[in-house]
Amino acid sequence: VLSPARLAGAAGPGWLAVGDGAVRFRVELEGAGCAVPPDASPLHRVTAAAICRLSLEARQGAPIETVIPHYLRQPDAVIARQPPAP
């Protein structure tokens, strides 16, 4: 997981940035030379199937048995059970 600044530094001309993160960090990404479609573009509707297709085409995926999820936050069910913050 990279911060927007580190991602922008690793990216550059010829890159296409899509998704809600690309919309949110448009200034940083475009500043690094990335193309970001207009906010309402259907290109921002990134699906899990599209991510899997990219990996398949790149032939750089890992064997399925070695893939481990990396959760960045607790599930909604766990959050809902917690008492509200004061």
Is 8 domain-assigned? yes
- pTM comes to 0.60
**Residue 3: predicted pLDDT:** 79
User: What is the C-alpha separation between 16 and 83, in angstroms, rounded?
Assistant: 41
Q: Dihedral sign for Cα 16, 19, 23, 27, please.
A: negative
Is 86 domain-assigned? no
| Tally of domains within the chain | 1
Domain range holding 34? 4-81
pLDDT averaged per 10 residues, the chain (length 86): 77 86 91 92 90 82 84 86 83
